[in-house]
Structure 1
Amino acid sequence: MNGGERSDTIRHRKVWLGNTSSFIINLAQTATLIPVTFYLQSEIGFSASATGALLMLQPLVMGIVAPFAGWFRDRYGGSFPILAGAALCSASMLSVMFLPTVPAWSIGLHLAVFGIGTGLFHATNNAEVMSATPAEKSSLAGSLLALVRYLGQIVGIGLATVFVGTMGSQAQIHESHGVSIRILFGICCALCLAVAIAGRYLPKEKPNSPNLSAS
């Protein structure tokens, strides 16, 4: 395989692996965020305002971390932030999965750690996909990233509905959904872990390194 073919192979791998990973992370984010909203109110007894304030934690942390992730990727490459971000998303599920009960602080911990993970992952992964796309196809690549994000959210909603679709309804007001939430979070934990493992197979070159085809 000559240098040009190897460069094309790496770019192709970045695009399909990046889009697949984005689909999974968005799926996990939506699938876990929706039931948390109902759980805080129907089973813990939080008011709507308190629930909203706690849910703000995830996008707030994500917004703080994302610029740092972009800076890191520009200097050192995107492999580490993508791997670390997906690993943190997976680890954030543990505070809900393995406790005897699911208290508010464990949900807050999950939201904060998942926010750090998505902040690291999305900013870097999007840049990696776009940089691996030829300039004349950048609009198509951006549209594909948006499509993948929305599809991940749609599947995440469906997955959450399967496990905790009756949460908050009057007919199920006395039913505990602790086990269902743990199963849902366990599935999302495994999916995010798979993304972290896949991140090990991304090329390790820096953005400003010489073109691979010259080697």
Structure 2
Amino acid sequence: MSNDYAKITGMPVETNRWIVLANVSLGTFMATLDGSIANVALPTMAGELQAPIHLVQWVLTAYLLAICATLPIMGKISDLIGRSRVYNYGFIVFAAGSALCGMSHSLGFLIISRVIQAIGASCLMSNSQAIVADVFSQGARGRALGIVGMVVSLGSLTGPGVGGILVDRFGWPTIFWINIPIGIIAFIAGRFCLPKDHVQSGRKPFDFAGSFLFIVGMLLLLYTISNANEWGWTSLYVLGGLLVSVFILVWFYRWEHKVEHPMLDFSLYRIRAFRVGNMTALLSFVAMFFVNVMMPFYMENVLGLSPEHTGYIMMMYPLTMAVIAPCSGWLSDKFGSNMLTTIGLVINAVGFGLLHTLTTQESPWIVGLHLALFGLGTGLFQSPNNSSVMGSAPKHKLGTAGGLNALVRNIGMVLGISLSVSLYSTRLHRLGVVQEMTRLSWSRRFILCSGWLSPSVSWL
């Protein structure tokens, strides 16, 4: 952090950067809390808005797709006009979107408001890691990113509980109203504590054509994948959607190599640590969302546990991660990232192997220990990996790097959900019980799991 900033606040640089981390953590907690709160309220929304559940799921889907489509764009904008500025105004956009959600009296207006909210969340997501990586560039970056990971887990843990209380006692709009005071306080604090932006002179033009191609291609790709299980992976809709989306994204790739000032700087992928870190994060999130989606089915349909007990057991994963993430970040500052990320992935691989030992009469404690093992592995992997990825990017491209780092994890989440549900349905077909399962649409199956899924995991 700059010495000028230290002079203005009258505090030493060491103190300043932890205040910045506190502000970033507040934004992280707000967005994480909102994601898990919204999941809990979907059945109530369906009843009060008199909308079918397959349409109400768009309250979740629109939010996720909008974030994926805008993350790299917000990252690029922040590199052009300043990371702190884009991040801080993200609080206002998020709070405004939350207010519109709270005032919604129709499903259509609520979905549009969620898109506005998602744009604010995109401003926060694409710059939170960039700001932390910049401020802690002289040391303790892994520890700081580990604390951010801990805040993510705490938001995921408290969201369902807080959401259930608010929806039950005050109605579903209150889950959005709660964001407004938090967003305003965080915005005011950010005006004073966030580091000043040092934007290069001679502002470069923005690539509107490339941004348009990316948004269209990414939305079509993720929308097709999200609905592939319901439409059928070999249906004309899915094959056509995949073909057209890939064509548009290839067009976008070629355009970015021709334009003088591209929206997405593909040169970042020439950096080995950035390229490998993003790829492993993508695969890790795909794998972990298989667990997040399927384990509630196993506990409720096979072990016969109640949704409440299932929720308590599922909490073992984020709770363990909340404890391990700051520790692994601190260790990565001391010993580097390679060993910790490798150990974390190996532990997750062992966890997947141990899942094969579970029986139809398993003790809930044993299942909880399995999930805690995944929390241990993911906690060891995420913080050092984020530190390695963000540390490898040039300082003037940290916004773009942060947007891409968040994007690959969102894509991993979508792929994990879609592929796991598809494999589950295929297995049911082979077992001859598909007639019973088809009583639940894909959206209902998603809603069943969504109490334990949190799009905010992408913050990690």
Fold conserved (TM > 0.5)? yes
Superposition deviation, residue 149 in structure 1 = 0.4
Which stretch of structure 1 is more off in the superposition, 9-18 or 61-70?
9-18
Cα distance in 1 for partners of 2:355, 2:268 equals 39
The corresponding residue for 1:177 is none
Q: Secondary structure of the residue that 1:46 maps to in structure 2?
A: coil
1:121 is the counterpart of 2:386: no
Output the amino acid matched with 2:436: A
Q: Which of 152, 157, 164 pairs up with 2:412?
A: 152
- Inter-partner Cα distance in structure 1 for 2:269 and 2:422: 37
Q: Which residue of 2 aligns with 1:68?
A: 327
Q: Is the 8 A contact 2:303 2:360 kept in 1?
A: no
* 1:110 partner letter: H
Q: Which amino acid aligns with 1:164?
A: Y
Does residue 22 of structure 2 align to residue 22 of structure 1?
Answer: no
**Match status 1:89 vs 2:348:** yes
User: CA 1:39–1:100 in 2, change beyond 3 Å: closer, same or farther?
Assistant: closer
User: Is the CA contact 1:95–1:109 (under 8 Å) kept in the aligned structure 2?
Assistant: no
Cα offset for 1:165?
A: 3.5
Partner deviation per Cα, 1:13-42 (whole Å, 9 max, x = no partner)? 100000000001111111111110111111
| Range that drifts further, 109-118 or 56-65 | 109-118
Q: State the TM-score, normalized to the length of structure 2.
A: 0.34
Aligned to 2:436: 171
State the distance in 1 between where 2:268 and 2:410 align: 27
Return 19-28 or 93-102, whichever deviates more. 93-102
Aligned residue for 2:394? 134
Tell me how far 1:110 sits from its aligned partner.
2.1
8 Å CA contact 1:96, 1:102 repeated in 2: no
Which secondary structure state, in structure 2, belongs to the residue aligned with residue 93 of structure 1?
helix
Gaps of 5+ in 2: 1-266, 439-460
In the alignment, structure 1 residue 48 sits paired with structure 2 residue 307:
yes
1:107 aligns with 2:367: yes
**Cα distance between partner residues in 2 of 1:76 and 1:28:** 27
Counterpart code for 2:296: T
> Is contact 2:268–2:393 with CA below 8 Å preserved after alignment?
no
Taking a change above 3 Å as real, the CA distance of residues 101 and 38 of structure 1, as seen in their structure-2 partners, is: closer
Superposition RMSD on alpha carbons, in Å? 2.6
TM-aligned CA deviation for residue 151 of structure 1: 0.5
Q: 1:109 Cα shift?
A: 2.5
Per-residue CA distance 1:78-97 (angstroms, 9 max, x = gap): 11110000000100112211
Q: Which has the higher contact order (CA 8 A, sep 6+)?
A: 1
Contact 1:95 1:106 (C-alpha < 8 Å) held by counterparts: no
Aligned length: 166
Q: Distance in 1 between matches of 2:317 and 2:308?
A: 16
| 8 Å Cα contact 2:390/2:402 also seen in 1 | yes
Give, as a single letter, the amino acid of the residue that structure 2 aligns with 1:52. G
Deviation at 1:169, TM superposition (A): 8.4
Indicate the residue corresponding to 2:82 in structure 1.
none
Contiguous gaps of at least 5 residues in structure 1: 1-7, 174-215
Question: 1:58 and 1:100, CA in 2 relative to 1: closer, same or farther beyond 3 A?
Answer: closer
- What is the alpha-carbon distance in structure 2 between the residues aligned to residue 118 and residue 39 of structure 1? 21
| Whole-angstrom distance in 2 between the partners of 1:134 and 1:30 | 31
Deviation at 1:50, TM superposition (A): 0.3
Structure 2 CA distance for partners of 1:102 and 1:144, relative to 1, 3 Å: farther
Do 1:96 and 1:106's aligned partners in 2 also have CA atoms closer than 8 Å? no
CA contact (8 A) 2:344 2:377 kept: yes
Alpha carbons of 1:170 and 1:62: their partners in 2 closer, same or farther (altered >3 Å)? farther
| Alpha-carbon distance in 2 for matches of 1:102, 1:131 | 47
Post-superposition, which runs of at least 4 consecutive aligned residues in structure 1 deviate over 3 A? 8-11, 98-102, 165-170
**Deviations 1:95-145 (Å, cap 9, x if unpaired)?**
211455572444323211110000010111000000000000001111001
- 2-structure distance, mates of 1:30, 1:154: 9
Aligned partners of 1:130 and 1:141 also within 8 Å:
yes
